[in-house]
Amino acid sequence: MTDIITDLPALALDWHRAGRGVAIATVVQTWGSAPRAVGSQLVITADGAMEGSVSGGCVEGAVITEAIDALEDGKPRVLEFGVSDDEAFAVGLACGGEIKVLVEPVGTALPIALLEELVAARAQKTPVAYVTDLVNGNPRLAPRDSYPDRFRLDRSGVEEDGRTFVAVHNPPLRMIIVGAVHIAQFLVVMARACGYAPTLIDPRAAFGSQDRFPGETILEDWPDEAMATLKPDHRTAVVTLTHDPKLDDPAIQAVLASEAFYLGCLGSKRTHAKRVARLEEAGFDAAQIARIHAPVGLDIGGRNPAEIAVSIMAEVTQSLRKAR
């Protein structure tokens, strides 16, 4: 539930430390075509300043009023709103829906120590769940293995008991692409659209240029050196596309020693067989080598670079979202 522009929990903590009364409003449930997803947040101060969104503007005036009231009495509240078809159309939705919003004053309903712990976990890219009872409150933090399916799917929501709300705070998704080749030109666009922050690695300056990849992060280091800096984690997908063992192999070996959830390598079955032999000679066992998706991408019959990029993005998504 990370806001794209602002780290809202950190902002709420900063505002509180500055002496401003602060409340956090969070979408906890939706029905129909709601303007904002579950987990979306709005931070409100006692003087009416705000950042974030819980409704695309439809009901935020009412949420702000309730948040200011909550700051006066120090108590949380759960608000329910219906979004009419006309209101939904105004924010780009086909039809209306309903949303349930939890409002928590910082310092009372949401203890400062707990907010500090949450902000620290997010800063350290540690996956953590914010869990609270919508009836009795008493929020707490829980580790990733407490709600594995929610973390795998990036899905905040209310548990089957109808009252336990779990807000998933996952580190951002990353995709590291080794080889600034033609396929990569399509893949970086698709990766970004799917919520990944892409990084390109290619020591060949003619390939990894801003002319070919405008605005992208491009590292001209050797892949193993770049991997040591980037430190792939369980929210990182890595794709090697150079077709050159001098570049791909060091990257692959570095990734096999990491927690990256996906490693895909371009090349035919014959090329991969040679790659496997080199990895075995380097001391990697069958279980480690089995982590490699090769030939890279789902077999959708794609031929041109854009179609291959589609197949890669599909396989990365499948690896992230489907239970292993």
Report pLDDT digits (tens) over 166-197.
Answer: 999 999 999 999 999 999 999 999 999 999 99
Would you say residue 292 lies in a domain? yes
Helices (DSSP H) in the chain: which residue ranges? 8-17, 60-73, 85-90, 112-123, 148-153, 182-193, 223-230, 245-256, 269-281, 286-289, 305-321
2 assigned to some structural domain? no
Angle at 48 between CA 46 and CA 50, to 5 degrees: 105
Tell whether 308 is covered by a domain: yes
Same domain, 301 and 181: yes
**311 and 216 part of one domain:** yes
| Distance (Å, whole) CA 194 – CA 320 | 12
Residues forming beta bridges with residue 264, ordered by sequence position:
239, 293
> Is the domain of 134 the same as that of 181?
no
Which of 115, 148, 169 is a domain's end point?
Answer: 169
* Residues of the chain below pLDDT 50: 1-5, 93-94
The answer to whether residues 188 and 160 belong to one domain is no
Q: What is the pLDDT of residue 2?
A: 37
Residues 225 and 286 in one domain: yes
Q: What is the CATH number of the domain that holds 249?
A: 3.40.50.720
Residue 154 lies in a domain: yes
* Apex 147 CA angle, 162 and 238, nearest 5: 135
Any domain includes 267? yes
- Whether residue 197 is contained in a domain is answered as yes
Residues 6+ apart with CB under 8 A from 271: 243, 294, 295
Q: Are residues 185 and 153 in the same domain?
A: no
101 part of a folded domain: yes
**CA-closest candidate to residue 71, choices 11, 140, 20:** 20
Which pLDDT value is given to residue 84? 66
State the total domains in the chain.
Answer: 2
- Nearest Cα residue to 207 out of 193, 192, 223, 225: 223
The pLDDT of residue 4:
41
Last residue of a domain, one of 139, 169, 199: 169
Q: Same domain for 242 and 316?
A: yes
Range of the domain at 305: 173-321
Question: Looking at the structure, do residues 25 and 61 belong to the same domain, yes or no?
Answer: yes
Same domain (yes/no): 211, 300: yes
Bond prior to 198 in cis (omega within 30° of 0): no
Instruction: Assign 77 to helix, strand or coil.
Output: strand
Predicted local distance difference test score (pLDDT) of residue 3: 38
pLDDT at 32: 73
Nearest CA among 99, 52, 44, 53 for reference residue 72? 44
- Residue 315 and residue 254 in one domain: yes
Is residue 3 in some structural domain?
no
Q: Which of 114, 146, 169 is the last residue of a domain?
A: 169
Residues 135 and 189 both lie in one domain: no
Q: Please report which residue ranges of 177-323 form alpha helices under DSSP H.
A: 182-193, 223-230, 245-256, 269-281, 286-289, 305-321
Specify the 3-state DSSP secondary structure of 133: strand
Same domain, residue pair 263 and 157:
no
Q: Is 274 left (phi over 0), alpha (psi -120 to 50) or beta?
A: alpha
CA distance 107 to 147: 26
Q: What is the pTM of this model?
A: 0.83
Residue recorded with tokens 């589609």: 310
